[in-house]
């Protein structure tokens, strides 16, 4: 008799618990097609397997020449800079894959192309057949070549791979700028890191779309205010660092351009710091000065002041990643971001 502290976790024990044959349980847990199995039965087996932390014997499956049903999610350290939206997508993706009978490995990629390539080789040696890359990882070309060589499937949520899902940023930023203008706020400043003036998710392209008769040089001069780049590799306290940068740069800007009545920050953390400065200095945020950020982080959503923001459409991105990962069809799709206007 098994002790209470030790749960059985074999196919046979799960079959006994749910009152089904071992063959039926095997088919469900290994994602085998069987139209005779109802969704209720499938869900009952999956719940029973989860309750005893069942994991398939991958080595045995590989020896039999069967599919391993293993997916590796490779996340760039750069993408983890904003953990909230990416973490939410990873959790949702792992749950979705698990409900379909897939095992998921999660691997955070390093700043070394050789180490990242070695990680991919080790994952393949463990039976991984499908790779999803989130972010632009170092050594992506070597990784792509290696995965193609092994005839595994690869899809990326990035700008660099052949098969990829990307974000379309310009439309949402145009909506923010037009919101400012519609409310009569025309003294707009876009606050960006120096390195991102010409690349920050199409901010300059959005300005060009709104102010069509203004030259690029004049747009940068009139509407963009930059701050020194943040060394994210050495910034453990990310929120505090960006929050303080937002506070300081807003103080500097408002002293130079006191008539500014709309601020479009690089992200929500910086926007929250700028909001604090404005509140402490007698501005009514949402009336005297409109504020916008990026990423639609929880702190911005529940701020005491209205902070308009832009978010990745994580649900649609996930749906497309899971649609294309299991085939080798060409894929180069762009998903528009979502604008959240708050006033």
| C-alpha–C-alpha distance, residues 264 and 268, integer Å | 10
pLDDT exceeds cutoff 70 at 324? yes
Contact (CB, 8 A) for 137 and 80: no
pLDDT at 6: 46
pLDDT digits (tens, 9 = 90+) for 38-96: 888 888 888 887 777 676 655 555 444 455 688 999 998 766 666 678 888 898 999 88
pLDDT exceeds cutoff 80 at 211? yes
pLDDT exceeds cutoff 50 at 1? no
pLDDT at 196: 78
From its phi and psi, is residue 286 left (phi > 0), alpha (psi between -120 and 50) or beta?
left
Average of per-residue pLDDT values in the chain:
87
Give burial (CB, 10 Å; 0-12/13-18/19+) of 153: middle
pLDDT at 267: 93
Beta bridge partner(s), residue 108: 75
Q: Can you give the pTM of this predicted structure?
A: 0.78
Starting at the earlier edge strand, list the strands of the sheet with 103-109.
103-109, 70-76, 130-134, 153-157, 164-168, 332-336
Cα 221 from chain centre:
32
pLDDT exceeds cutoff 50 at 4? no
pLDDT digits (tens, 9 = 90+) for 150-198: 989 999 999 899 999 999 999 999 999 999 999 999 999 999 988 878 8
């Amino acid at each position: 008799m098994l002790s209470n502290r030790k749960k059985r976790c074999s196919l046979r024990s799960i079959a006994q618990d749910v009152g089904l044959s071992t063959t039926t349980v095997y088919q469900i847990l290994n994602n085998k097609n069987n139209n005779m199995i109802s969704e209720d039965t499938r869900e009952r087996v999956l719940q029973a397997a989860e309750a005893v932390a069942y994991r398939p014997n991958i080595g045995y499956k590989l020896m039999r020449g069967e599919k391993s049903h293993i997916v590796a999610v490779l996340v760039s350290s750069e993408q983890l800079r904003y953990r909230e939206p990416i973490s939410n997508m990873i959790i949702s993706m792992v749950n979705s894959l698990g409900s379909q009978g897939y095992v998921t490995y999660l691997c955070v990629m390093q700043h070394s192309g050789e180490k990242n390539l070695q990680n991919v080789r080790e994952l393949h040696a463990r039976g991984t057949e499908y790779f999803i890359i989130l972010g632009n990882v170092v050594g992506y070309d070597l990784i792509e070549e290696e995965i193609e060589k092994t005839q595994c499937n690869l899809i990326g949520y990035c700008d660099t791979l052949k098969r990829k899902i990307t974000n379309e940023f310009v439309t949402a930023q145009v909506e923010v700028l037009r919101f400012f203008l519609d409310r009569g706020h025309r003294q707009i400043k876009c606050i960006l890191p120096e390195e991102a003036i010409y690349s920050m998710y199409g901010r300059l392209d959005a300005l060009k779309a709104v102010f069509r008769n203004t030259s690029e040089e004049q747009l940068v001069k009139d509407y963009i205010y930059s701050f020194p780049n943040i060394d994210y590799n050495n910034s453990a306290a990310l929120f505090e660092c960006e929050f303080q940068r937002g506070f300081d740069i807003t103080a500097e800007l408002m002293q130079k351009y006191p008539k500014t009545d709309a601020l479009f920050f690089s992200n929500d953390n910086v926007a929250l710091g700028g909001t604090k400065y404005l509140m402490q200095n007698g501005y009514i945020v949402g009336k005297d000065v409109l504020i916008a950020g990026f990423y639609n982080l929880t702190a911005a959503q529940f701020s005491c002041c209205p902070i308009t923001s832009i978010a990745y459409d994580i649900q649609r991105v996930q749906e497309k990643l899971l649609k294309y990962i299991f085939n080798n069809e060409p894929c180069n799709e762009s998903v528009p971001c979502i604008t959240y206007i708050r006033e």
